[in-house]
Amino acid sequence: MSEAYTVEAILFGFLVLFGILGNIWVIFVVFQSAINSPTHRLSSSDTILVHLSVANLLTSLFRTVPIFVSDLGLEVSLSDGWCRVFMLLWVWWRAVGCWVTLALSIFHCTTLKRRHVAFGPLAQQQERRRVWIVLTVVWAANLAFSLPALFYTTHALGNATVELMVISCTTRPLLGCIWEFPTEQQGSVFASTSLALNEVLPLILMICTNLATLHALAKHIRMITAGGKAGESLGELSKHVASERKAGHVIMSLVVLFIVCWTLQVAAVTYYNHDRGHHAEGLLTVAHFSASLFEGFSPLVVALGHGKLRRKIVRMIQQGLELLKCVVFLLNDYL
């Protein structure tokens, strides 16, 4: 294994590990915060965040980890039946992660632009019900769209090369599984439709939604500043403005991460399927890393922008550091 390839494998392994631990950490912190809350229920935004983390975690465990193992040279091959099942799951979870990210952005946008916010247990229960309905539709619709994987997936024989790329970023069959369509035209139609519906469309909607959110945030900040003239103290005014600007920074971080990662994915897959020039391998490698980057960092970006979750995460980090110091101190005494 060359030195450059070793560095690439180590970096990719770090992203895979960080993605798995990061998503598990976010899920743990969100549920622990819900248990410690007076209602013992997940808030609507936390519910969406958990679904995003679960989708990304499943993708990391069952797709990204096998890719990493394959890159290390360990060849694992599935039977024809299991190839169909795993391809279905890969397409499903990848699409769900993309659409749940969009659902989180739409939720924040609609909440911010809502003129009259209803409070109370009944209003919160209705909001949670709406969120669960939307998430159920996202999971079910993407499962239905992924069903062709059960019919157009097969086991590759020998040293095959991927002829048609849908969601993968590697030219080698993942776990020996490849797409096989009756005709090249049908394959191109499915790949183009999958790319348009599960990556290009959410990308465009994500940009529009977050631009609307940032516009609403700017308008809200101006209203808060104007409200300060009506008797609000300078300290309260500064606190409100700082909170709104922090929300804007989180939104910008998430949308930039989403746009960069998914644009690279769309560009790499499209270029490979229609050209396969000498730049295809490089583009696929970059998209390979960007997909893992998004799966690992997107839930953490949202969690760190959430006041309660951020404080919980910081407290857990501090406790972990204190525990590490105690372990080091005991080891020094023992040695």
CA distance 127 to 44: 7
| Maximum Cα–Cα distance across the chain | 76
| pLDDT band at 229; cut points 50, 70, 90 | very low
136 or 176, which is more confident: 136
The arithmetic mean of pLDDT across residues 187-200, rounded, is 80
Residue 218 has pLDDT above 70, yes or no: yes
Percent of the chain beyond pLDDT 70?
Answer: 70
Residues 45-60: tens digit of each pLDDT: 888 888 988 998 898 8
Domain map of the chain by residue range? 1-333
- Structure confidence at residue 40 (pLDDT): 75
Mean pLDDT of all residues in 206-224: 77
Q: Residue 132 and residue 50: Cα distance in Å, rounded? A: 12
Average pLDDT over residues 196-205: 83
The predicted model scores a pTM of: 0.80
- Give the separation between CA 61 and CA 71, rounded to whole angstroms: 15
| Cβ-count burial 199-238 (b if 16+ within 10 Å, e if not) | bbebbeebeebbebbbebbeebbeebeeebeeeeeeeeee
Q: Is the pLDDT of residue 203 over 50?
A: yes
Of 8-12, 41-45, 117-121, 149-153, the poorest mean pLDDT is in 117-121
**33-42: per-residue pLDDT in tens?**
888 777 778 8
Question: Quick one: pLDDT at residue 118?
Answer: 53
> What's the pLDDT score for residue 143?
93
Question: Which candidate, 20, 156, 165, 180, places its Cα nearest to that of 91?
Answer: 165
With a cut of 60, say whether residue 261 has pLDDT above it: yes
Residue 204, pLDDT score: 87
pLDDT tier for residue 247 given thresholds of 50, 70 and 90: low
pLDDT of residue 120: 61
Region 8-33 average pLDDT: 81
User: What phi, psi does 154 have (nearest 5°)?
Assistant: -145, 170
Which CATH code for domain 1-333?
A: 1.20.1070.10
Query: Is the pLDDT higher at 245 or at 83?
Result: 83
Whether pLDDT at 182 is above 70 = yes
Name the pLDDT band for 200 (thresholds 50, 70, 90): confident
Which of 84-98, 138-152, 285-299 shows the lowest mean pLDDT across its residues? 285-299
Judged against a pLDDT cut of 80, whether residue 220 lies above it is answered with no
pLDDT of residue 132: 93
Q: Check pLDDT > 70 for residue 306.
A: no
Q: What pLDDT is attached to residue 9?
A: 72
The tokens describing 243, both together, are: 């909170």
- Determine contact, residues 146/88, Cβ cutoff 8 Å: yes
